[in-house]
Amino acid sequence: MAYQRKEIDIAQVQRQKDICGEILGRNQQAGATPLAMVDTYGCQQNEADSEKIRGYLAEMGYGFTDNEFEADVIVINTCAVREHAEMRVLGNVGALNHSKKARPSQIIAVCGCMVQQEHMAQKIKMSYPVVDLVFGPHELWRFPEHLKAVMDSHKRRFAAAADEGAVIEGMPIHRDRGVKAWLSIMYGCNNFCSYCIVPYVRGRERSRHPEEILKEARELVAAGYKDITLLGQNVNSYGKDLEEDVDFADLIRMINDIPGDFLIRFMTSHPKDATEKLFKTMAECEKCAHQLHLPVQSGSDRILKLMNRVYTREKYIEKARLARSYMPDLVVTTDIIVGFPGETEADFADTLSLCEEIRYDAMFTFIYSKRQGTPAATMPDPYTRADKQRHFDALMELSNTISGEKHKEYEGKTLRVLIDGETGKDEYNLSSRTNGGRLVHLKGDRSLIGQFVEVEIVSSNNWALYGRIAP
């Protein structure tokens, strides 16, 4: 049956905020400010989710800490994309035995994509008694209710039933990235790439109404945010599920029309849905960064087909060329999976040659990780981990070489950057980003944080650029 769009009405979210109010009352009566720790694994979507958890916790009167021994409430927001992240989470959750022993009233919650998988929720239930509360991404908006139930009953609670997901407005958000903000525009994914767990744990694609997004964007600009990243698993299919006649390019144009000096970024784009209209809009909208994260995953047509990516190498290259024809200064980055089941030397050589052809500014490379329940998990996978590691190392080397060469091209140029924080180093104490999102280290007064400045690039390495503020 087709997905039925679900919207949670504001009264239900208000009920959650009322529960926050109740917990706030109790916390105020207790005197000292209680502390919470929120630890986030995985993608930007998860970081945005953690900002909502912190939003609720702040309404309950919690302050924040990074020290688990100080925390009254700990929330671990997990990722399921690769096994490595899951192993790290389980190791860290197990280690919380120590903090709980020192502070027996401590409440430990594990949420996010990992626990939306039935077998992982079971594993925590059976083997990690230190965990009091488990909730999946679809239950995040009900976090106050779940937390209060655990507080009141002193019983463990598991809330991660299968769900296709809803659109929820009105949750509080506690942002702490300085002048940079995440803005979720849609949730879920319908693509079912054969290796990927995301569509199973985050539900179907569903877009927020444009007026809700615009309202939030206006608030961000008014609050002084200068760098706004629109988030979605596949932003290029924004609006397809809405009754309004609006697509992602239209949304960019509407946000671009908000008065103010700020940048619009977005991620992630599925190549199959990246349109000429989008590239044209990016080029025409002066606030839209010339940055495109366009995951290719593989350069081999055979593997792309097995991955269910529904584009060919040629089509991908054509799209990247088209984007660059509109924006010659476009920064293009990608994700690549090495060692997909059955990937041969020839397939891998196709990936290397595609990277040489596109010349990405940066590449995020991953060794394939088998995800239970996905189609790729049952595909024959005859190659050894050592073969995959060898390919991974070769790809990293190519990626570093190309990034280094591209960074060299910036030297001697003057460009506009947004200063976004401190590095903790003496010589280059400030960090900043170019319009295309490349990292630039600078020397200057910290009062410049949040400002756009002109910078002359004086040197570079594979990872970053170094500059001085132009007179």
Of residues 116 and 297, the one with the C-beta less far from ligand 5AD: 297
- Binding test (CB under 6 A) with ligand SF4, winner from 89, 198, 294, 455: 198
Interface residues toward ligand 5AD, by CB under 6 A: 81-82, 195-196, 295, 297, 335, 337, 366, 368-369, 371
* CB-CB contact of 375 with 344 (8 Å): no
The site partner of 337 among ligand SF4, ligand 5AD, none (C-beta below 5 to 8 Å per kind) is: ligand 5AD
User: Segment 42-71, which members bind ligand SF4 (CB under 6 A)?
Assistant: none
> String of b and e for 26-46 (b: at least 16 CB within 10 Å)?
ebeeeeeebbbbbbbbbbebb
The site partner of 433 among ligand SF4, ligand 5AD, none (C-beta below 5 to 8 Å per kind) is: none
The site partner of 191 among ligand SF4, ligand 5AD, none (C-beta below 5 to 8 Å per kind) is: ligand SF4
> String of b and e for 386-404 (b: at least 16 CB within 10 Å)?
ebbebbbeebeebbeebbe
- Binding test (CB under 6 A) with ligand SF4, winner from 46, 234, 291, 432: 234
282 CB-near residues (< 8 Å, 6+ apart) = 252, 288, 290, 292, 323, 326, 327
Nearest approach in angstroms of CB 363 to ligand 5AD is 10
Element (H, E) at 97: helix 97-102
The site partner of 234 among ligand SF4, ligand 5AD, none (C-beta below 5 to 8 Å per kind) is: ligand SF4
Of residues 227 and 273, the one with the C-beta less far from ligand SF4: 273
- Say how far apart CA 422 and CA 453 lie, in whole Å: 15
- Say how far apart CA 426 and CA 186 lie, in whole Å: 41
The site partner of 133 among ligand SF4, ligand 5AD, none (C-beta below 5 to 8 Å per kind) is: none
**Two tokens at 118?**
């039935």
Nearest CA to 183 out of 251, 115, 244 is that of 251
Nearest approach in angstroms of CB 337 to ligand SF4 is 9
- Binding test (CB under 6 A) with ligand SF4, winner from 37, 193, 292, 455: 193
The site partner of 407 among ligand 5AD, ligand SF4, none (C-beta below 5 to 8 Å per kind) is: none
In 3-state terms, what secondary structure has residue 265? strand
Element (H, E) at 224: none
196 binds ligand SF4 (CB under 6 A): yes
Of residues 374 and 432, the one with the C-beta less far from ligand SF4: 374
Contacting residues toward ligand SF4, per CB under 6 A: 189, 191-193, 196, 198-199, 233-234, 270
